[in-house]
Amino acid sequence: MDSNDFTQQYSSFDGILAVEAFTAIKTDYHNGFDSLKEYQEQSGDWIFGYLSYELKNDTEELVSRNKDELEFPDLYFFQPKKLFFFIGDVLEMHYLRMVDDEIEEDFKTISTTLLTTQNKAEESPCGKIKISLRITKDIYKEKVNAMLTHIYRGDIYEANFCQEFFAKESCINPLQTYHHLNAISRPPFATFLKIDKHYLLSASPERYLRKEGQKIISQPIKGTAKRSKNRVEDEKLVSALKNDPKELSENVMIVDLVRNDLSRTAVKGSVTVEELCKVYSFNQVHQMISTVVSKIDETTSPVDIIKTTFPMGSMTGAPKISAMQIIEDLEESKRGLYSGAVGYFTPTGDFDFNVVIRSILYNEEKKYISYTVGGAITAESDPDKEYEECLLKAKAMREVLETS
């Protein structure tokens, strides 16, 4: 996990590396949160892993019927044997006792690797990647119009509609591809995850949820604008985003949803909005981000806080359950890890999770590469502009894959 030195209000580390599973849990969505809760409480240690979008079926009466070619487990967490924390110029190395005799050797390997291979690209044996669309632009527009019909008749106010881009019988060098994606995006929640033959290469700019003692922090993103190399033009784009009624309404609706979700575990009257609709600039895009916080009772389970807010409102819509039902009907691909969350729990029960967006997912065994992008559909949405926004969000992933 890499924060890319991004200046943010809530942060503990510049980077974390967790390797070699001592214990692990892998399961589908059935009783997924109960299994995670038991594992988190029993381990009493650092655990790292992910929650896929399909865990929605564990919290509500929902189903997942769409096509799944990636075949990631619905939930996976592990207790690492080795942990590396990067804080400024300091590297902290934490080892379980069974492997603490390897510290000196590992440090020598790390130092040598940095000196000999930094910025050195490896030759890839993979050929050119041909990216396909799961749905055409015309079908995308038809589906957005179908979603607008639901909005106009009052079924929902907003929903996040996504489409998949994929490549079959293709391969990549996962680590090299991740380094390339991270270099051109430099987001605050970048993640490289390898579990057997499954890989996540994420350039996520969004935090889902963080726990610091009794404080809970959610930072949903809603509102996107392109960037310009011309400084004056770039500032105009920021100003336009700040004052765009559609983007503002998208963000405010999700903030209301997040406030409602957090209130389910919050001490009464403790849910507040610290920051509303602030624009942050990333390498590829400008984003509108809000910060919502709450206070919990000391006895509240960390996993229960996640269970009562998952999936995150920025990737579903409002009202949440209706939006998820409509999303399932209109989307063509199972989301899986996309729009789920990757993160960690500390030994004291604190946690920090991102939102899995702007990410490449790879099943090495099946030679299947995928990235999904989406956007919030509201009553003011224009299908053509929504499609353009999807292509803007997909730009970094497409560039990386086409130049691999």
Indicate if 61 belongs to the active site: no
Indicate if 168 belongs to the active site: no
Per this entry, what is the length of the chain? 404
**Nearest to 78, CA basis, from 118, 46, 122, 32:** 46
The two structure tokens encoding residue 38: 């038991």
Residue among 54, 164, 206, 386 flagged as catalytic = 206
Distance (Å, rounded) from C-alpha 144 to C-alpha 150?
A: 10
CB 189 within 8 A of CB 219: no
CB atoms within 10 A of CB 111: 10
The two structure tokens encoding residue 24: 């692990």
| Residue 108 CB contacts under 8 Å (≥ 6 apart), including other chains | none
Distances (CA, A) of 380 to 143, 242, 308: 15, 16, 29
Residue among 222, 307, 320, 393 flagged as catalytic = 222
Helix (DSSP H) and strand (DSSP E) numbers for the chain: 10, 18
Strand partners, 351: 211, 345
Distance (Å, rounded) from C-alpha 334 to C-alpha 348?
A: 34
Tell the residue number behind the tokens 């110029």, with chain if given: 89
Residues designated as active site: 206, 222
